[in-house]
C-alpha cells in the first residue's frame, strides 16, 4: 500500500516527484473521454521508468497467443487494444540540454487531476546540472465534447537565465505494446503530411487493418501574445516533428498550445480519414484552448450532476468514491454499441483492454443509475451484436443448434483467453450476460428489449445450458461437470452451485421472455423462431425437465448450499488462520495448494444470493454469509463489493463499511501493488455498487425503487444521485435524518426502510431516524 | 498410419525415396549407443524437409519457460537435451553441381538399418539435371564399444562420366534446437583446430557450461587403395570443414571413411577435453573401419543374446518387437547412473529429452529382464541422487520436513514442466518411483538396496503423502484433493483411487522397509534417521492412521473402485459410441469436453490392479477391466500395454493380442502421425512388457519366476529370453508345447501354468499343452 497521493475532495494530487512510483502515477493520472485515453505521461522527454500509453477505443490487434502447452479449442490470438500514437510529446531543449526530469534537480513538482473538470495539470521547477533553472507548467485534457481532440498548454519560464529554448512537438506512431507477445510492432505507417505548425500521419494495424490518423497543430504565445517562430519540419517512418527555437528571457513565459487529433476508420471512411482529421483539428484550433476547455468543463459538470457522490466528514473516502466515478465516466460514454468497458480502460495494457463479464456484473448498475438509458442499453446491444460469434465459440467446443457461449475475454465477440480452466469452464459468465438483461429490464422497465434482442440472446444461452448438463444415473438428477465458478481458486469442479443456479434461472427467465414476446410481439416472435430454428415445444420441454431435476449441492447439517461437490471434504479453517506473511495466497502459495484449500477468491455462492436476494429469506443469506465470508480472501478487486452489499442487507454495517473501504481507494493507495499496470476500472463499478446498494441500500423491485441507507461511523453524511426511469433523485443521508429529493417534473413513489413514500415533483421528503 | 517400411525379420527397410515421409524415416532410422545418438539424416546436403539431429547424453540446456498465464510454483525453465554438432556431414560436389537428393532424379534408393548389427546403410543411384549419374552408398554406425566414436564409409561412383568430385567433410556446431522456445541458439563456440584430414572444435552451452569437443578425421580410398589428396581446410565460428577434389573415372569408386568423436565434460576434465578427444579419435582411426565395425557387431550380438524375441509366422510382428528392443538398447546402456531414458531417446527433440515416470513404470521391467542387474540398479540410483532436488520441489509447493515430490519431467532432479494440472497434481508419479524400488527388489532379491538408498527415498515419499492428505470432517476419512491420475483426461479430481492406493501402499511398504533396515543394517538405519531427522514413533503413527482411515471411492452396486469422486455422475457411454471421425478425441474435442467425458486416456484404476494384481482376485480384475476397458480410448502410447497384460491374465487372449499390436508397430507404421517428432522410446518398454508379461505371462513372486504363455492365432511360435537372478532362460512357446531352457550353470525352479518345474543347468523342460 502506497500513501503518496494527497487527500482532497475533488483533486488527485501528487506533491513532490516520486520517480519510484511514476508508473503508478501514470495510471492514476490517466485521462479518457470514452473514445480515447492515455496515461498521465509527461509531455517532455523522460528517461526514467515510464509506460508511455495512448489508446483508441476499439482499435485492437489479434496478437498471436503465447502458450506453454496447447489445448484443443484454444483461440489463436489474444486481442489487445493497441498502444497508439504518442500525440502529447513535446521535446524541450534549453541551450543544448534536454529537459528530462530524470536528469535534473527538482525543486518542486505537482501533478494534479481536477476530477470536476477532467484536466491534468503539472507544474515543476527544476534545474539542469549547469544550474539553469526553469519553471514548467502544463495543462492537458481530452475533450469530452469533441472526442477526437485533445489539447495541451505547455509553458516554460527561464528563472535564472536568458537563453535559447527549442521546442519540438511531435507525433510518434512508432509505438509498441509493452505486452506484445513476440515483441512485435503492430502498426504500419502509411501517409505523412508535415508542414509548418501542422502535421499528420496515418498508420494501419497489421491483420485488422484499422486505419488511424493522428495529427497536431500548434501555436506559440510569449508575453500573452501570439509569437511568430521559424519552423523546421522533419519526418521519418511513423514519425513527424516540428521544431522552433525561441530566445527566452529570464522571467518571461513561453507557451506552446498543442492540439491533437486521433481519428480512426471506426468513424471515418478510410479515404477521407486524413481530410476529416484535418478538418476536426482545424476547427478545434480555431476555437482555441480556452473555448475548448470551457465546453469540456460544462459537459463534465453535467456528468457530475447525474453521478456525483458527496461524503461529508471523510476526505479520503470522498476522494476515493469520486475517483471511481470519474474513471468510469472517462472510460465509457455509451454512444457507440461497439465499445465496452475494459478492465483497465485506457490506463494500461494488462488484460488486453478487452471485455470480461465484469461489465455485466459490476459496471452495468452504475451506468443504469447515473446515465441516460441508452448508455446501458448499448452495453446490452454490444452482446447482442456478438451473438453469432458466441454461437461460433460454443461450436468450437462441440455445442450445436445455436447454443451460445459468450467469451471470457473478447473484443469482437471471439474468445481470446487461453487457460482451459477459465476459457472453457468459467461458464457462469453466460448467466451473467443473461442476468444483465433481467437487470436492465427490471431497472428501466424497457421490457420490449426482449423483442427480439433479449429473447435471442436468452434463447442461445438457454440452449447452451441445456446441452452443458448431463444426466447422472447415480444421482437421478441433471449435473454440470467440469466448471469454474466466479471463485477462480477452484477449477474444474462438479456442480458449482452458482453456475447450476444461473443455468436454471436462465431457463426459467427465458420461458418468461418467450411468454412475453409471443404475446406482445407475435410477429417478432415468429420471425425470431424462424431465424433461430427454435422448436419451442421440444426445447422448452427439455428446459422444464432440467429446471425440475437440476442437482444442487447442499449440506443438510448446516442448511447451506455448497459451492461445489466435495466442498465439505476440505480442511475448513477460516482465512484468518493463514499467516499474514502468506497473504495474498495467490502470491505465496502454489496453485495446487490454493485449489485444495477452502479459500475463496471472490463471491461465488454469495454472488447468486446477491443477484437473487429476493428469492431468499434474510436468515438464509445470513447463514450462507457466515459460512462463506470467513473463508473468503478477497484476492480479486471484484470481491469485496458483493460482500459489502450483503453485509449491509443483513444488518452488519461494520462489515459493510470494511468491505467498502477495500475497494474505494484500491488504486489511489495501490492496495494490491499492481496499479502501475493500469487502473482497476471495472472494479470501480463494484465500488459504486457497494456504496449505493450497500451503504445506500438501493434496490429496484417491480418498478419501484427502495432505499435502506446506513451511515458509517464518523461520517457526517453523504449524498448520492440516482437516475431512475423518468425521475432523478438526490438521496441525502445524515445522522438523524434522510432527505430524499425528487428532482424531476413528476410525482413519484419510493420506498424507504420498507415504508412507501410519495414525493412530489421538485420536492423533498424527510425521514427521521 | 503409413505403410512404407518394408517388412523383414532383422532389417528396417525404406525402398524408394519418400521425401514426404523423410522426417518420419529420420526418426525410424536413428542410431544410438547410450551415450550419443542421432537421427537417420543424410551425410550429403539435403534441401528437402529434414530435422538434422545429433544428441549427447546428459548435455542439456534450461530453456526459459514459455507460458500463457503464469501460476505460482511454475519452474523457470524446461530442460532440453541439446541438438549438438552435426559430425556426419559430407558435402559432395560433382563437376560444380551439389549432390542433393531433393534436386536430382532418383533412380533407386534404399535406406536400411540392420538391427542385428546396429548399422545404417543407404544406397542410391541418382542423376543431376545435366544427366551425370552417380551411385552412392553409405554405411554408418555409432560404436557401442567406444561410446564417443562413430564411423562412416561413404562411396561415390560416377556411372556415366569422368569428372571432378569435391568432397567436403565437415563438423558443424552452429546448431539450434528446433523447439527452442525463443529461437535462441544454446551453443557458444570456443576453440578450433583444423588441419589436413583432422579437425576439432569445442563449444560450450550457455548457462549450464557443458563443454563438448567434436572432431573428425578421414581417409580416402580409391580402387581399394589409400588415395592421397590435396586438402584445403576452412573454419569459421562453430564450424570446420576440409575439402579435396578427386578426378573420378566412370565406374571407379571413391570412398571416404570419416571417423567422428564427440566427447564432453560429463566424462573429461575440460582442460583435457580436446586432447582426450584427439586420442580417442586417433585410436579409432588407426584401427580402421572394419575393425571398429567388427567389435561393434560382436557387442551387439551379446545384447541380442540376452534380449531377443523371435516370432515365427508373422514377419510384421517380428520386425515390430525387435525394433522396440533395438531402440531401448540404443537409448540406455546403464553404465552411468546420471543418465536415464527420455521419451524420445536420441531420436528427436519433443518432450525435451528428459525423464518422466515412464522409466519406472514402463522401462524398468525390460532392463531388469534383459540386462545385468547394475543397469536397472542405476535407474534407481538416478532417483536417489535426485532426492535432495525432489525435496526442494516439494518445498516449493509448501511441503516441509523432508517430504519429496519427484518431478514430472526432469533432467537434473528439478521440475521442468509447467502445466499446473500435471506438474503440481499428477503426483501418482511419486508412487511409481517408490514402486520401482519394490519391483527391483522383488525381481533381483537385492533387498540391501534399501540400506539406505531405497529407505531414504521411501521415507521422503511417505512424508509427502502424509502431508498431502487431509482429514475430511464429513467423511471421517483421509482424503486427497486436487490430483491428476495417470489418466490425464481428468484434472484436479478428488480422491483418484490409484493415487490414494499408491499413497497407502507406499506408507505400508516404507514401514516394511524400516523393519528390514533397522534389523539387518542397524547402523545404516541410525545414520539415515539422523540425516533425515526421522522421528520414527510420531511419523509412523500418523502413517498407520492414514493407512487405516484412507478413503477410497467405491461403487457398491457394481462392486468397483471408482477412478475418482463423482465418476458415476458421468454419462457412461462406451468409447465405441464415439464417431470414428472424432477419434482421437484429443485432436477433435475441446479440452473441457474431454474432461467431463468418461473417457480414459490410459490405465488408471487398472494401473494399480496391474501393479498389485496379487492383492486381488481374478474376478475383481475382470470386473474392473470390464468396467474401465470400454471407456478407455488408449490415446497415450503408454496405454495398451497394461490392458494387454491384464487381458492376458484374465483369459482374454484376443484382447491381449489386439492391445499388443497397437504398441508393437506404433512407430514403424507411424500409427499416431507423430513419429516425425521422434520415436516413442519409453512406450517401447511397454511393448516389451505386453509381450513378455502379457503373452508370456511372466511374473515374479517371492523369488520365483512364473510363466503363463498364450500363443496368438496364426503364430507358429515365439521365443524370448529372460535374465532372472543368476539364471538365464529361453522360453519357447509353440502351438502344442512350451520349451523352457535353463541356460545357466545351476539348477533352478520355475512355475509354469501354476505348476512348479525344476530345470537342471543347461537343460530344457517341455510342457505339453
Instruction: Tell me what pLDDT residue B353 has.
Output: 67
pLDDT, tens digit, 9 for 90 and up, residues A180-200? 888 889 999 999 999 999 999
Residues of A in contact with B71 (CB under 8 A): 590-591
Angle between helices A640-649 and A681-689 (to 10 degrees): 0
Calpha distance B645→B660 (Å, rounded): 9
Residues of A in contact with B474 (CB under 8 A): 568-569
Calpha distance B723→B721 (Å, rounded): 7
Task: Check A565 against B570: CB less than 8 A apart.
Answer: no
Q: What is the mean pLDDT of residues A471-488?
A: 98
Task: Check A474 against B595: CB less than 8 A apart.
Answer: no
Instruction: Tell me what pLDDT residue A340 has.
Output: 95
CB A367 within 8 A of CB A375: yes
Calpha distance B225→A118 (Å, rounded): 92
Q: How many residues does chain A have?
A: 769
Calpha distance A33→B554 (Å, rounded): 61
Task: Check B419 against A588: CB less than 8 A apart.
Answer: no
Calpha distance A543→B574 (Å, rounded): 26
pLDDT band at B721 (very low <50, low <70, confident <90, very high): very high
> Cell for A393?
465459440
pLDDT, tens digit, 9 for 90 and up, residues B255-309? 999 999 999 999 999 999 999 999 999 999 999 999 999 999 999 999 999 999 9
- Best of B471, B491, B564, B592 to mutate (most A CBs within 10 Å, chain A): B592
B458: left (phi over 0), alpha (psi -120 to 50) or beta: alpha
* A558 close contact with B: CB closer than 8 A: no
Task: Check A470 against B588: CB less than 8 A apart.
Answer: no
Calpha distance A259→A140 (Å, rounded): 10
Q: Which residues contact A688 (CB under 8 A, 6 or more apart)?
A: A309, A321, A324, A325, A328, A365, A366, A370
pLDDT band at B336 (very low <50, low <70, confident <90, very high): very high
Q: Which residues of B121-156 are buried (b: 16+ CB within 10 A; e: fewer)?
A: bbebbbbbeeebbbbbbbbbbbbbebbbbbbbbbbb
* B758 close contact with A: CB closer than 8 A: no
Calpha distance B210→B266 (Å, rounded): 8
Percent of chain A with pLDDT over 70: 100
Q: DSSP E strands: which ranges in B305-345?
A: 309-312
Residues of B in contact with A419 (CB under 8 A): 68-69
Instruction: Tell me what pLDDT residue B722 has.
Output: 95
- The mean predicted confidence, pLDDT, of chain A is 96
B669-to-B21, B52, B388 alpha-carbon distances in Å: 11, 21, 42
CB A59 within 8 A of CB A82: yes
Angle between helices B497-520 and B536-549 (to 10 degrees): 150
> Which of B67, B494, B592 lies at the smallest CB-CB distance from A68?
B67
> Which of A71, A589, A592 lies at the smallest CB-CB distance from B482?
A592
Task: Check A591 against B474: CB less than 8 A apart.
Answer: no
Which chain A residue is nearest to residue B585, measuring alpha carbons? A72
pLDDT band at A71 (very low <50, low <70, confident <90, very high): confident
pLDDT, tens digit, 9 for 90 and up, residues B174-229? 999 988 888 889 999 999 999 999 999 999 999 999 999 999 999 999 988 999 99
Q: Which residues contact A168 (CB under 8 A, 6 or more apart)?
A: A90, A91, A92, A93, A241, A242, A243
pLDDT, tens digit, 9 for 90 and up, residues B18-47? 999 999 999 999 999 999 999 999 999 999
Angle CA B72–B73–B79, to nearest 5 = 130
Residues of B in contact with A418 (CB under 8 A): 68-69
> Which of B419, B566, B570 lies at the smallest CB-CB distance from A565?
B566
Task: Check A72 against B587: CB less than 8 A apart.
Answer: yes
Q: Report the gap between the CA of B769 and the closest CA in chain A (Å).
A: 46
> Cell for A603?
463471491
> Cell for B594?
474431454
* A552 close contact with B: CB closer than 8 A: no
Q: What sign does the dihedral B28-B31-B37-B43 (CA atoms) show?
A: negative
Which chain B residue is nearest to residue A475, measuring alpha carbons? B569
Which chain A residue is nearest to residue B416, measuring alpha carbons? A68
Task: Check B592 against A482: CB less than 8 A apart.
Answer: yes
Residues of B in contact with A565 (CB under 8 A): 565-566
φ, ψ of residue A257 to 5 degrees: the values are: -100, 110
Instruction: Tell me what pLDDT residue A353 has.
Output: 67
Residues of A in contact with B68 (CB under 8 A): 65-68, 418-419
Q: What is the mean pLDDT of residues B661-668?
A: 90
Identify the helix (H) or strand (E) that includes residue A221.
strand A211-222
Q: What is the mean pLDDT of residues B436-452?
A: 98
For residue A41, pLDDT over 70 is answered with: yes
pLDDT band at A338 (very low <50, low <70, confident <90, very high): very high
CB A325 within 8 A of CB A343: no
Task: Check B590 against A418: CB less than 8 A apart.
Answer: no
> Cell for B300?
551387439
For residue B158, pLDDT over 70 is answered with: yes
Instruction: Tell me what pLDDT residue A112 has.
Output: 98
For residue A546, pLDDT over 90 is answered with: yes
Task: Identify which of B681, B567, B576, B572 has the alpha carbon closest to the alpha carbon of residue B633.
Answer: B576
- Best of A492, A549, A579, A589 to mutate (most B CBs within 10 Å, chain B): A492
Task: Check A72 against B588: CB less than 8 A apart.
Answer: yes
Strand partners, A479: A470
> Which of A65, A398, A589 lies at the smallest CB-CB distance from B68?
A65
The ipTM (two decimal places) reads: 0.92
For residue A127, pLDDT over 80 is answered with: yes
CB B371 within 8 A of CB B721: no
Percent of chain B with pLDDT over 70: 100
CB A543 within 8 A of CB A511: yes
> Which of A398, A470, A494 lies at the smallest CB-CB distance from B589?
A398
- The mean predicted confidence, pLDDT, of chain B is 96
Q: Which residues contact A494 (CB under 8 A, 6 or more apart)?
A: A479, A480, A481, A482, A483, A564, A565, A566, B566, B569
Q: Which residues of A321-334 are buried (b: 16+ CB within 10 A; e: fewer)?
A: bbbbbbbbbbbbbb
Instruction: Tell me what pLDDT residue B354 has.
Output: 83
Instruction: Tell me what pLDDT residue B365 has.
Output: 98
* A475 close contact with B: CB closer than 8 A: yes
Q: Report the gap between the CA of A441 and the closest CA in chain B (Å).
A: 33
Q: Which of the residues B488, B490, B539, B635 is marked catalytic? A: B488
Q: Which residues of A220-258 are buried (b: 16+ CB within 10 A; e: fewer)?
A: bbbeeeeeebebeeebeebbbbbbbebebeeeebbbbbb
CB B684: neighbour CB atoms within 10 A?
31
Task: Check A396 against B590: CB less than 8 A apart.
Answer: yes
Q: pLDDT higher for B522 or A224? A: B522
Enzyme catalytic residues of A? 488
> Cell for A334?
455509451
The β-bridge relationship of strands A704-707 and A748-752 is: parallel
For residue B375, pLDDT over 80 is answered with: yes
* A584 close contact with B: CB closer than 8 A: no
For residue A1, pLDDT over 80 is answered with: no
pLDDT band at B661 (very low <50, low <70, confident <90, very high): confident
Instruction: Tell me what pLDDT residue A3 has.
Output: 85
Q: What is the mean pLDDT of residues A146-154?
A: 98
Task: Identify which of A99, A144, A141 has the alpha carbon closest to the alpha carbon of residue A119.
Answer: A141
Across A230-234, B69-73, B208-212, B502-506, least confident range: B69-73
> Which of B73, B398, B591 lies at the smallest CB-CB distance from A420?
B591
Amino acid at each position: 500500500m502506497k500513501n503518496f497521493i494527497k487527500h482532497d475532495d475533488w483533486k488527485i494530487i501528487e506533491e513532490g516527484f516520486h520517480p519510484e512510483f511514476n508508473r503508478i502515477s501514470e495510471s492514476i493520472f490517466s485521462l479518457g473521454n470514452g473514445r480515447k485515453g492515455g496515461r498521465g505521461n509527461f509531455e517532455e522527454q523522460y528517461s526514467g521508468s515510464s509506460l508511455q500509453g495512448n489508446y483508441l477505443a476499439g482499435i485492437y490487434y489479434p496478437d498471436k497467443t503465447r502458450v506453454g502447452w496447447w489445448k484443443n479449442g484454444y483461440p489463436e490470438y489474444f486481442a489487445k487494444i493497441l498502444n497508439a500514437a504518442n500525440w502529447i510529446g513535446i521535446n524541450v531543449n534549453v541551450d543544448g540540454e534536454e529537459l528530462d526530469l530524470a536528469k535534473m534537480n527538482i525543486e518542486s513538482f505537482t501533478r494534479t487531476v481536477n476530477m470536476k473538470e477532467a484536466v491534468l495539470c503539472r507544474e515543476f521547477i527544476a534545474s539542469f546540472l549547469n544550474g539553469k533553472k526553469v519553471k514548467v507548467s502544463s495543462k492537458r485534457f481530452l475533450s469530452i465534447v469533441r472526442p477526437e481532440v485533445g489539447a495541451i498548454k505547455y509553458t516554460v519560464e527561464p528563472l535564472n537565465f536568458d537563453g535559447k529554448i527549442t521546442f519540438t512537438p511531435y507525433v510518434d506512431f512508432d509505438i509498441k505494446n509493452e505486452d506484445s507477445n513476440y515483441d512485435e510492432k503492430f502498426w504500419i505507417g502509411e501517409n505523412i503530411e508535415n508542414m509548418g505548425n501542422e502535421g499528420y500521419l496515418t498508420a494501419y494495424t497489421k491483420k485488422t487493418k484499422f486505419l488511424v490518423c493522428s495529427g497536431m497543430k500548434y501555436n506559440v504565445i510569449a508575453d500573452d501574445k501570439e509569437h511568430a517562430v521559424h519552423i523546421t519540419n522533419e519526418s521519418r517512418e511513423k514519425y513527424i516533428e516540428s521544431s522552433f527555437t525561441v530566445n527566452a528571457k529570464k522571467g518571461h513565459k513561453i507557451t506552446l498550445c498543442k492540439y491533437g487529433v486521433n481519428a480512426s476508420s471506426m468513424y471515418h471512411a478510410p479515404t477521407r480519414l486524413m481530410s476529416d482529421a484535418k478538418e476536426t483539428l482545424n476547427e478545434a484550433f480555431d476555437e482555441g484552448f480556452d473555448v475548448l476547455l470551457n465546453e469540456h468543463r460544462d459537459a463534465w459538470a453535467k456528468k457530475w450532476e447525474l453521478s456525483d457522490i458527496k461524503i461529508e466528514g471523510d476526505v479520503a473516502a470522498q476522494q476515493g468514491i469520486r475517483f471511481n466515478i470519474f474513471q468510469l465516466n472517462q472510460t465509457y460514454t455509451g454512444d457507440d454499441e461497439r465499445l465496452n468497458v475494459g478492465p483497465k480502460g485506457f490506463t494500461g495494457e494488462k488484460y488486453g483492454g478487452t471485455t470480461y463479464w465484469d461489465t455485466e456484473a459490476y459496471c452495468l448498475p452504475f451506468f443504469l443509475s447515473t446515465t441516460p438509458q441508452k448508455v446501458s442499453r448499448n452495453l446490452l446491444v454490444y452482446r447482442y451484436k456478438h451473438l453469432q460469434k458466441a454461437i461460433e465459440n460454443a461450436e468450437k467446443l462441440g455445442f450445436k443448434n445455436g447454443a451460445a457461449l459468450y467469451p471470457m475475454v473478447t473484443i469482437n465477440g471471439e474468445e481470446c483467453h487461453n487457460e482451459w480452466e477459465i476459457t472453457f469452464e468459467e461458464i457462469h459468465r453466460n448467466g451473467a450476460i443473461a442476468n444483465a438483461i433481467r437487470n436492465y429490464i427490471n431497472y428501466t422497465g424497457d421490457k420490449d428489449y426482449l423483442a427480439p434482442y433479449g429473447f435471442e440472446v436468452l434463447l442461445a444461452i438457454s440452449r447452451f445450458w441445456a446441452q452443458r448438463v448431463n444426466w447422472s444415473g447415480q444421482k437421478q438428477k441433471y449435473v454440470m461437470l467440469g466448471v469454474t465458478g466466479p471463485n477462480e481458486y477452484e477449477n474444474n469442479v462438479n456442480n458449482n452451485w452458482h453456475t447450476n443456479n444461473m443455468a436454471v434461472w436462465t431457463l426459467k427467465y427465458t420461458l418468461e421472455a418467450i411468454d412475453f414476446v409471443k404475446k406482445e410481439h407475435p410477429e417478432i416472435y415468429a420471425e425470431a423462431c424462424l431465424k433461430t430454428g427454435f422448436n419451442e415445444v421440444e426445447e422448452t420441454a427439455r428446459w422444464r425437465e432440467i429446471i425440475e431435476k437440476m442437482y444442487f449441492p447442499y449440506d443438510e447439517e448446516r442448511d447451506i448450499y455448497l459451492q461445489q461437490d466435495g466442498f465439505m471434504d476440505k480442511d475448513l479453517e477460516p482465512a484468518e488462520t493463514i499467516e499474514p506473511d502468506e497473504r495474498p495466497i495467490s502470491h505465496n502459495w502454489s496453485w495446487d495448494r490454493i485449489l485444495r484449500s477452502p479459500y475463496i477468491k471472490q463471491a461465488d455462492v454469495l454472488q447468486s444470493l446477491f443477484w437473487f436476494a429476493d428469492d431468499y429469506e434474510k436468515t438464509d443469506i445470513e447463514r450462507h454469509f457466515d459460512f462463506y465470508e470467513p473463508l473468503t480472501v478477497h484476492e480479486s478487486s471484484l470481491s469485496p463489493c458483493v460482500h459489502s452489499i450483503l453485509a449491509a442487507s443483513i444488518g452488519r454495517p461494520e462489515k459493510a463499511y470494511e468491505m467498502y473501504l477495500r475497494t474505494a481507494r484500491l488504486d489511489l493507495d495501490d492496495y494490491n501493488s499492481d496499479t502501475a499496470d493500469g487502473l482497476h476500472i471495472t472494479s470501480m463499478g463494484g465500488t459504486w455498487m457497494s456504496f449505493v446498494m450497500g451503504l445506500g441500500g438501493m434496490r429496484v423491485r417491480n418498478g419501484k425503487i427502495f432505499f435502506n441507507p446506513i451511515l458509517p461511523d464518523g461520517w457526517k453524511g453523504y449524498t448520492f444521485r440516482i437516475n431512475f426511469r423518468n425521475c432523478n433523485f438526490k438521496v441525502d443521508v445524515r445522522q438523524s435524518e434522510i432527505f430524499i429529493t425528487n428532482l424531476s417534473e413528476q410525482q413519484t413513489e419510493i420506498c424507504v426502510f420498507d415504508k412507501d413514500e410519495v414525493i412530489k415533483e421538485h420536492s423533498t421528503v424527510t425521514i427521521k431516524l
